[in-house]
């Protein structure tokens, strides 16, 4: 029997990057996965690849900042797959700028996507998890929560998610729901590629520079994070809750 046989996972921001790798990892170990994302086409491609590999996957387009869309997507997942056991909130954006150049929209869009989006997904998911007295939630923080130049909006959101994680672990623990967060360092995805582009730096050079500052001397891959998420949402981690697990090749990424 596979690790997640009979389990159903709902992932946000799962069309690409860390979310997609996590969807593939959970599906490969038996979970039925709802691959949700703002970008419908790439979400469908990710879900189709999982199905082609023998897994169960459903793509649902949604904007995590829209409560009605999140509720409807969770309801559709439960209608299709019969239950909801795992929430992995990965949807994210960056709008980096030094404070004096950061616009209201830079602030609002980043805070809404990470913080409100994770809150809305958690609120929609908990109904099903509380009713069945079983659930696993993982939020996506970042080493940027510890402070990062040019990321007032993003680091605030990622630090806020650490508070959300601890608070929901306290509130939902009595219902046998584990709530944890991962805090990745530099992971090779579209997001880090976009940062290199914005800075006008060649991506290979950008990665090499980052790797030279990371104790393990390499940047992370989405699968490095996916494997830790898989552990946190498994029953092997059933006494771990309210924790922030850094996945950064060292104490900071
Ligand atoms: N890449 C890194 O180095 C790194 C480090 C720490 C944390 N993170 C976090 O990991 C998560 C995944 O990032 P990634 O690196 O895989 O980036 P990515 O850009 O590859 O993936 C993010 C996904 O989120 C989706 N998304 C954005 N806004 C959305 C919205 N409103 N509704 C639904 N989906 C939306 C995007 O379409 C995209 O598919 C993010 O929360 C990010 O902040 C990434």
Q: What pLDDT sits at residue 48?
A: 98
pLDDT of res. 252: 80
Pocket perturbation via mutation, ligand 1, pick of 87, 91, 229 by most ligand atoms within 8 A of CB: 91
Mean pLDDT of 96-111: 98
Q: Which residue has tokens 């609120």?
A: 123
* Per-residue pLDDT, 134: 98
Q: Residue 49 pLDDT > 80, yes or no?
A: yes
Quote the ligand 1 centre to 17 CA distance (angstroms). 7
Show the domains of the chain with their CATH numbers.
8-185+221-247 (3.40.50.720), 190-219 (no CATH)
Question: CB–CB of 231/237 below 8 Å?
Answer: yes
Q: How far is the CA of 141 from the centre of ligand 1 (A)?
A: 11
Q: Confidence class of residue 102 from pLDDT cuts 50, 70 and 90?
A: very high
Return the residue whose CA atom lies nearest to atom 16 of ligand 1. Answer: 17
To test the pocket of ligand 1, the residue of 15, 16, 17 to mutate (highest count of ligand atoms within 8 Å of its CB) is 17
Helix ranges, 53-151 (H): 67-81, 104-111, 117-132
> What is the per-residue pLDDT across 198-209, written as a single tens digit (0 to 9) for each?
999 999 999 999
- The minimum-distance atom of ligand 1 relative to the CA of 144 is 6
The per-residue pLDDT for 175 is 98
The encoded tokens of residue 237 equal 């981690």
What 3-state DSSP class applies to 31? coil
The question of whether 246 is a catalytic residue gets the answer no
**What percent of the chain is predicted at pLDDT more than 70?**
100
pLDDT over 80 (residue 240): yes
Using the predicted structure, report yes or no on whether residue 9 has a pLDDT greater than 80: yes
Atom of ligand 1 nearest to the CA of 63: 32
Read off the DSSP letter of residue 239. Answer: T
* Whether the Cβ atoms of residue 5 and residue 30 lie closer than 8 Å to each other: yes
Q: What is the DSSP letter of 230?
A: H
Q: Mean pLDDT throughout 182-194? A: 97
Q: What are the phi and psi torsion angles at 217 (to 5°)? A: 60, 35
Could you give the CA distance from residue 91 to residue 11 in angstroms, rounded to a whole number?
Answer: 8
* Per-residue pLDDT at 253 exceeds 80: no
Residues 214-230, mean pLDDT to the nearest whole number: 98
Q: How many CA atoms lie within 13 A of 154 on its CB side?
A: 20
Contact assessment for residue 114 and residue 161, using Cβ atoms and an 8 Å cutoff: yes
- Separation CA 42–CA 14 (nearest Å): 9
Residue 57's alpha-carbon distances to 19, 24, 50, 52, 201, in angstroms, are 13, 9, 6, 10, 37
> For 53-79, how does the pLDDT look when each residue is reduced to its tens digit (9 = 90+)?
999 999 999 999 999 999 999 999 999
Q: Please report which confidence band the pLDDT of residue 140 belongs to, taking 50, 70 and 90 as the band edges.
A: very high
Pocket test for ligand 1, best of 12, 14, 18 (most atoms within 8 A of CB): 18
Mean pLDDT of the chain: 98
CA dist 219 to 1, 95, 146, 159, 184, Å?
33, 22, 18, 22, 10
Catalytic residue among 4, 154, 186, 206: 154
- Buried b / exposed e along 200-229 (16+ C-beta atoms within 10 A): eeeeeebbeebeeebeeebbbebebbbebb
Residues with CB under 6 A from ligand 1: 12-13, 15-19, 37-39, 62-65, 90-93, 113, 117, 140, 142, 184, 186-187, 189-192
**C-alpha 222 to ligand 1 mean position (Å):** 11
């Amino acid at each position: 029997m596979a690790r997640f046989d009979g389990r159903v996972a709902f992932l946000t921001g799962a069309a690409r990057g860390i979310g997609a790798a996590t969807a593939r990892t959970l599906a490969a170990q038996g979970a039925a996965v709802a691959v949700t994302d703002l970008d419908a086409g790439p979400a469908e491609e990710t879900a189709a690849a999982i199905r082609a590999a023998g897994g169960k996957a459903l793509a649902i387009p949604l904007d995590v900042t829209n409560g009605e869309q999140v509720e409807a997507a969770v309801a559709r997942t439960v209608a299709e797959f019969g239950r909801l056991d795992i929430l992995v909130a990965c949807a994210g954006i960056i709008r980096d700028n030094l404070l004096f150049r950061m616009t209201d929209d830079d602030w609002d869009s980043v805070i809404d996507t990470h913080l409100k989006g994770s809150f809305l997904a958690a609120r929609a998911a908990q109904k099903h998890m509380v009713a069945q007295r079983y659930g696993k939630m993982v939020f996506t923080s970042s080493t940027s929560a510890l402070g990062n130049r040019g990321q007032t909006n993003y680091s605030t959101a990622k630090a806020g998610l650490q508070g959300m994680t601890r608070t929901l672990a306290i509130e939902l623990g009595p219902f046998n729901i584990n709530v944890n967060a991962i805090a990745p360092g530099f992971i090779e995805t579209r997001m880090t590629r976009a940062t290199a582009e914005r800075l006008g730096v060649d991506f290979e050079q950008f990665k090499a520079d980052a790797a030279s500052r990371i104790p393990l001397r390499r940047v992370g891959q989405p699968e490095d994070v996916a494997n830790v998420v898989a552990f946190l949402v498994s029953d092997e981690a059933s006494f771990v809750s309210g924790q922030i697990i850094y996945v950064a090749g060292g104490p900071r990424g």
